[in-house]
Amino acid sequence: MIPAIPQPDPLALPAPAWLLWALLLLTFFLHVIPMNLVLGGSIIGAIARVRGRRADRAHEAHLAHVIVKAMPVLISATVTLGVAALLFLQVLYGRVFFASAVVIGWWWLSVIGLLIVTYYAAYLMAMRETSLGASGLFLAWLIAAVVGVISLVYSNNMTLMLKPADLVARYAANGAGTQLNLLDRSLLPRHLHMVLGAIAVSGLAISVLGVLRRRRDPAFGQWALRYGAFICTAATVVNIFAGLWWLAALPRDVLLRFMGGDMRAMGELLAGILLTLTGAGHTVLAVTAKRPGVMVGISAGTLLAGILMMLLTRDAIRRFSLDLAGYQPVNWVAPQWGPIAIFVALLLVAVGTVIWMTRALAAARPGGNVS
């Protein structure tokens, strides 16, 4: 009989498991921020481009323009920071991750082609926005749709890897690599939770943009502050229900861990909910505050902390599910501190480069080039 979970690799872990887990969490947190802006921003930007065609909605047309200019940088940051997180995931959970990737093989490989399409469309929009005409609207929706498909493929793999017992049966039934995990009860609420979270983070980013632009363009700055606050708050409130739906869709034994079976996991879940609601609430307060920048800053800090708590909750779901399935991580270590140190140095350089690119983009004049 073929075992449901492959045997551990004979190679030892290159660093202690706790350090690899911490680096996985750190790199995934850094990846999630631009990823949310790409996913949520592409949706908001496409809608703003449709609504901005009316003469009385110039602010939305300008917002669509700002998103177009930012999208190539955000996509680059998402991919760059996502590679590191994926590598640490493979080191810790490779036996189930690669098995599920084989089951959905062609869909998983298609992500490369879909990313290339997204890159070309984003750069074409950024470089030739004014000359594209009606094609610009098509490209805006194409970017949003392709990014949504990529996120759905990832959700399929990340949920399927949590059910090792199903992988052997699935591969025996169809080894062509064309399957998806669409019938999983937790897939839809998990994916919806991610999309709504991305829209909320993007709404906060629009409020931050409004604060930064208030002196240069008071009318657009105030409008962006209010518009972003509305999007952030509405998406966050709806997302609470999507998150509860996701919890209810989890296997019973996993759900019970969050209902008092594991106090740490329950605390992280509650903290994530309270922090995200607090962050969204402060964006609303910023609209009428005398110092909106302070309120938006508090909102950004609490929302980022809430995202971190949600990532810990997501990690707990993965650990609980695999524990119940009988997954045992590799328990022998042969530290390779040289490559780890090089990675940390290069990660700092990459993050610094992304920050510089973002600041240069924010400092560019509307409609002008980044210099």
Residues 57 and 161 in one domain: yes
Token pair recorded at residue 369: 């080039």
Count of domains observed in the chain: 2
On whether both 52 and 147 belong to a single domain, the answer is yes
Same-domain status, 22 and 160: yes
pLDDT beyond 60 at 335: yes
- CA-to-CA distance for 177 and 106, rounded, in angstroms? 5
Assess contact for 53 and 46: CB atoms under 8 A: no
| Residue 227 belongs to some domain of the structure | yes
Cβ atoms of 75 and 122 closer than 8 Å: yes
Residue whose entry in the numeric block shows the structure tokens 């984003």: 122
Residue 230: domain span: 185-326
Same domain, 219 and 298: yes
pTM: 0.91
User: Tell me: the pLDDT tens digits for 236-273?
Assistant: 999 999 999 999 999 999 999 988 888 999 999 999 99
Rank 7-11, 12-16, 111-115 by mean pLDDT and report only the highest.
Answer: 111-115
Taking only the tens place, the pLDDT of each residue in 168-225 is 889 888 889 999 999 999 999 999 999 999 999 999 999 999 998 888 889 999 999 9
Residues 6+ apart with CB under 8 A from 98: 90
User: What SS3 state is found at 13?
Assistant: strand
Residue 217 — left, alpha, or beta (φ > 0 → left; ψ -120 to 50 → alpha)?
Answer: beta
- Per-residue pLDDT of 264-273, as tens digits, reads 999 999 999 9
- Rounded Cα distance between 208 and 33, Å, is 14
Same domain, 152 and 245: no
The answer to whether 358 and 74 have CB atoms below 8 angstroms apart is no
Question: Do the beta carbons of residue 142 and residue 73 sit within 8 Å?
Answer: no
Judgement on whether residues 40 and 140 belong to the same structural domain of the protein:
yes
190 and 131, same structural domain? no
Q: Residue 137 is encoded by which pair of tokens?
A: 């609207």
Is pLDDT at 371 greater than 70 in this prediction? no
Predicted confidence band at 4 (pLDDT cuts at 50, 70, 90)? low
- Distance CA(54)–CA(45), nearest Å, equals 15
* Statement to judge: residues 192 and 317 lie in one domain: yes
Instruction: Classify 333 as helix, strand or coil.
Output: strand
Residue length, the chain? 371
- Bridge partners for 13 per DSSP: 333
Q: Is the pLDDT of residue 368 over 60?
A: no
Phi, psi torsion values for 13, nearest 5 degrees: -65, 140
Cβ atoms of 336 and 107 closer than 8 Å: no
Q: Which of 184, 204, 228 corresponds to the end of one domain?
A: 184
CA-based nearest residue to 35, from 134, 130, 115, 137: 115
- Rounded average pLDDT over 87-104: 92
Average pLDDT of the chain is 89
Burial zone of 59 (CB within 10 Å; 0-12 exposed, 13-18 middle, 19+ buried)? buried
- Whole-angstrom Cα distance, residue 224 to residue 217? 11
Euclidean distance between CA atoms 234 and 227, whole angstroms? 11
Percentage of the chain lying above the pLDDT 90 cut:
66
Task: Please tell me whether residues 113 and 38 are part of one structural domain.
Answer: yes
| pLDDT of residue 228 exceeding 80 | yes
Final residue in a domain of this structure, among 133, 158, 184: 184
The pLDDT assigned to 131 comes to 83
Tens-digit pLDDT profile for residues 156-172: 999 999 998 888 889 88
Q: Which residues pair with 333 in a beta bridge?
A: 13
Decide if 336 is inside a domain: no
Task: State the DSSP code for 259.
Answer: I
Half-sphere exposure of 273 (CA within 13 A, CB side): 14
Distances (CA, A) of 273 to 19, 95, 239, 309: 27, 32, 10, 9
Considering the chain, what percentage of its residues have pLDDT values greater than 70?
A: 95
Same domain, 287 and 301: yes
Residue pair 177/105 in contact by the 8 Å Cβ criterion = yes
User: What average pLDDT does the segment 5-23 reach?
Assistant: 84
Helix ranges, the chain (H): 17-51, 58-103, 105-132, 134-160, 164-173, 187-213, 218-249, 252-256, 263-288, 292-325, 337-363
